[in-house]
Structure 1
Amino acid sequence: MFGSKKNKGNLLEMYPVKNSNVSDEMIDGQLKLTVYHAGIFRSTYEKWFPNYGKSFINLDKYGQFVWQHCTGNFTVNDIFIQMQKHFSNEPDLTLERLVVFIRILVNNKLIKLLKEK
């Protein structure tokens, strides 16, 4: 009755791409995401409240690495392989952790997953 809008296919073979309503900025070695929310009163309220309609997210080192690779040029599996090389001596790096993080980004509409480049 109500169709699912989930992407069909293997998550590891999909290409994550940043959404246009999210900008990023490196501040003191910390990657900060700014998410811009749409709304009919947003422009009016922003005159009095400069941060109205915005959310701010700080990413840890793993999140920064993943975010910088969400360009549409790498599959989720490619990102995991690159993470293993970059963080080779870190024991808490797992594929499950990456998949959960990617799902969080998708569910919060920070990225979208493409089946092809």
Structure 2
Amino acid sequence: MKTKKISSNYLDIVFVKNESCPWRLKEDGLVEIDMENRGFFNTIAQKFFKRPRISHISLDKYGSTLWLCLDGKASVNDILQKMNETFPGEKEKMLNRVVHFLATLEMHKFIVRT
């Protein structure tokens, strides 16, 4: 499997949850984030295809653990260490998983860099 080289600077980045994205911790301990579907095509889909204005994004156990680490103080490296402690059997895949998930969260503006 091909792995991407990560800059050591990336591991020092601190992310924080975007305050404009409501989220909740469900009874099962997993996180659910609300995402407003905006834009021209979403408006059409909402009117004609009865698509919801708000989508509820349910995170799995990995995503929920990572999300709860995003406190505006923990660096990517700190989060990686927490993930490795929580899921010790997944250490070899964890760096790639964390980086991809953070990139996805940042792309959808669920998190921002401090």
Q: Normalising by structure 2, what TM-score?
A: 0.72
Unaligned segments of structure 2, at least 5 residues: 1-7
Let me know the Cα RMSD of the aligned residues.
2.4
Three-state SS of the structure 1 residue aligned to 2:19 is: coil
Distance 1:37 1:15 in 2: 27
Which residue in 1 is equivalent to 2:17?
Answer: 18
Unaligned segments of structure 1, at least 5 residues: 1-8
Contact 1:15 1:72 in 2 (8 A): yes
Which residue in 1 is equivalent to 2:83?
Answer: 83
Q: Count the aligned residue pairs.
A: 97
Tell me the CA shift for residue 55 of structure 1: 2.4
Distance 2:106 2:36 in 1: 16
Contact 1:32 1:56 in 2 (8 A): yes
The one-letter code sitting in structure 2 at the alignment partner of 1:59 is L
Q: Normalising by structure 1, what TM-score?
A: 0.70
The one-letter code sitting in structure 1 at the alignment partner of 2:21 is V
Contact 2:84 2:91 in 1 (8 A): no
Question: Which protein has the bigger helix share?
Answer: 2
